[in-house]
Structure 1
Amino acid sequence: MHERCILGAPIGVDADSSTENSMDRDIGLIEFSSMVLWAIEEVEKAESELCSKSGSFFSMLDQLPNIGRAKIGELARTFRWGPFLPVQLSDSLLHVLLLLSKHRLKAAPVIDRSDSRIVGFVTQHAAVQLLLHCSGLEWFDSIANKPLSDFGYEKRGPVIHLHGDQSVAEGLHCLWKNRIGGIPILDSKTERLIGNFRSTDVRLLLDNDDIFKNRKKLTMEEFINFDARNENSGLAPLDPIERELGALFSAGALRIKSHFLTKMGNPVTNRLSDTLKQAMEKVAESKNDCLFIMNDGQRVVGMVTLRDMIVQFSPPSLESKGVGGVAGFFETAFQQSDCTIENGSIVCDH
């Protein structure tokens, strides 16, 4: 995955070689960042067994075959992956929103109905981008133009954070322990936001052996500054396809190294008075998975993820009785599209 610059991939069961249908073969999706975080956790536990503390991430795994050669299937109880819930080319955006919001997926695989092969992915970024194209429509604006304060993101409790003088190793452990995609980094004296540490940033430890070897000594602030100095270091060449709209939606968000992702020292922020639409536009432009909400004193008071945004627009459970059970803008959307819910399915007159 590192060599191919792939952020996620399907998990297939051991099946007969003649099994070509992805619905019979694939059982889930696995993330590059999660694999690295799990491996580093296991390496830390077994570090006393290592012959040498020097070398790269992969060479260290070679010294610990019980970790480096562990089979994906053996990690099912401790490893984090998403279920394999594909969509078809003919499925609607409403269907995709339902999957991404209800099942905590970062991406839904797209299959070709003719042979059930995977032909692409619809990412959370793609869903947000597509929703933004609905700007100006009543059912979208009625939700998107509300201020962030209306959604109560700041009332969830203290935001999990790290300080700039804490080590990179502590940051890695925090990401794994809390199963989150991003952590704000605060100045230890002023408590002001100085950056963010995202699960996608773990690739820097694989690209630079010195960072990996010194992860227990290197501070988060030094890590952020290193990322800022290496403006284009390690980035894969910009493929022509990435200039296309569809690729910007999905391919760019599925790359380990992306020209579109902002640096760690440039976290995405919004104020409580900003609208949900403004927040969506910021994450869409920056390709980040989350943003931080700031109060008037420039302190972090909340965090909003892509899923938090998608949930506001996701359809209700199809078990709702009639259109009366549909909340938010979907009540208007159903009415405008002449659709109803019958026997747990969406039925349209056209």
Structure 2
Amino acid sequence: MVTMEESPRSPEAKVGLRVEDLWDVQEPQLSPDEKLNACFESIPVSAFPLPPSNQEVEIKSDTSLAEAVKLLAQHNILSAPVVDVDAPEDASWIDRYIGIVEFAGIVVWILHQSDPTSPRSPSSGSAISAAVNGITSAFEHEASGLESAMTTSGNFFEDLTSSQLYKDTKVRDISGSFRWAPFLALERSNSFLTMLLLLSKYKMKSVPVVDLGAGRIQNIITQSSVIHMLAECVGLQWFESWGTKKLSQVGLPMVTPNHIIKVYEDEPVLQAFKLMRKKRIGGLPVMERGGSRAIGNISLQDVQFLLTAPEIYHDYRSITAKDFLTAVRSYLEKHEGTFPMSGELITCNKDCTIKELIQLLDHEKIHRVYVADSDGNLEGLITLRDIISRLVHEPRGYFGDFFDGVLPMPPNSRV
């Protein structure tokens, strides 16, 4: 396991120290769980450290999908807020931003292109509307979509990324695939508890924090950044009282072997992405055919390799999940340091503690860990969201009318 310095040093550690101070003055009759809730409720999200400058990315609404993919991949981020280029300079934040573009939404767009009912010709006048506006869902054609995915070759991705359709489709054109419309954001004065509940119970991947005075997003807090904050709290009393518990003591893993969404090594890689979107998950294991051992992991972010380096697949008649893992690993070895490692399956065992698990997730910069036995057979799955959900709980009536002002997802959205 990864070892950490006993004394935290990063800006995130200051938050942990603030919780420690609050922990010591909480009412003695409160349970440890109630104490943690009270501590996080007392800290505003404005106290959360800002992200590194290389991750402060906003994408203009007239940016092409091709350029958006490059920007997300270059900065190693899953999503970015989209700024409306037509908004006036003095616009409020809700008018300035039209949503968040993410790899997940781009995957939906790709699946439309792999569907035989979707027009692929760049010259087709209806191509963009049929492909990106959600008129026909790829998931309504599972049988034909799977057949298409099985026959999709590396040439498809080369043709797609060189087509005018891919180059001309703008980020604003796929707004129907955004998770929120425009999105749910917090004010600087909202609490850590609110933020943690949104990232766990309410399944948000990231939470924008807006500066109402400036009318702009000040920070975007992700599940990964929260896990890093927790990793920097090792050694603090409040963290140790929780972090030294074994997984089973806090109800982990929540996902059991029978409920792990997976693909087999000989299935098409596009089927893996289809499952991720249909089941609304961020990744899945690639399993040996006829066995219970996994040979790798595919995540939504891995779609970047289909779009930024399609030349690595041009020799494949069809791209299976195993082909995908092999090609990406080979590509990463040749471009060491350019991209984070992808496709590796990170595991832990049932006797692992919360602290050890958090350190592992933070060190490996991953979003999920598979629980495996000594023979490598999968026994469960733990995500960042699962861990955060075990840190805090939602008090009865906590949110009140908080969600009343949130715009619903577009009716045709499948995200």
TM-score by length of 1: 0.71
Amino acid at match of 2:209: V
Aligned residue runs from structure 1 range 1-350, under 5 A: 1-4=68-71, 5=74, 7-11=78-82, 16-26=87-97, 28-31=99-102, 33-46=103-116, 49-50=119-120, 54=156, 55-60=158-163, 62-63=164-165, 69=169, 72=172, 76=176, 79-82=177-180, 84-89=183-188, 92-150=191-249, 151-153=251-253, 156=256, 157-210=258-311, 217-231=318-332, 257=339, 261-264=340-343, 266-317=344-395, 319=397
| 1:171 Cα offset (Å) | 1.8
| 8 Å CA contact 1:57, 1:205 repeated in 2 | no
| 1:90 Cα offset (Å) | 5.6
Q: Which has the higher contact order (CA 8 A, sep 6+)?
A: 2
Amino acid at match of 2:213: S
Q: CA deviation digits over 1:207-245, x for unaligned, max 9?
A: 2224566777122222212222223656886xxxxxxxx
Amino acid at match of 1:181: G
CA distance 1:282–1:96, shift in 2 (3 Å):
same
What is the CA RMSD across the aligned residues, in angstroms? 3.4
**Cα distance in 1, alignment partners of residues 205 and 359 from structure 2:** 18
Which protein has the bigger strand share?
1
Amino acid at match of 2:253: Y
Q: CA deviation digits over 1:148-184, x for unaligned, max 9?
A: 2231425644311112222222222222222211111
CA distance 1:146–1:56, shift in 2 (3 Å):
farther
| 8 Å CA contact 2:107, 2:273 repeated in 1 | yes
**Cα distance in 2, alignment partners of residues 177 and 169 from structure 1:** 12
| 8 Å CA contact 1:161, 1:185 repeated in 2 | yes
| 8 Å CA contact 2:79, 2:101 repeated in 1 | yes
| 8 Å CA contact 1:168, 1:217 repeated in 2 | no
CA distance 1:114–1:155, shift in 2 (3 Å):
closer
CA distance 1:215–1:197, shift in 2 (3 Å):
farther
TM-score by length of 2: 0.61
Amino acid at match of 1:171: A
Count of residues in correspondence between the two structures: 295
| 8 Å CA contact 1:171, 1:197 repeated in 2 | yes
Amino acid at match of 1:279: L
**Cα distance in 2, alignment partners of residues 280 and 317 from structure 1:** 25
Structure 1 residue ranges without an equivalent (≥5): 238-256, 321-342, 346-350
Q: CA deviation digits over 1:251-271, x for unaligned, max 9?
A: xxxxxx5xxx3331x211111
Percent identity of the aligned residues? 24
| 8 Å CA contact 1:165, 1:219 repeated in 2 | yes
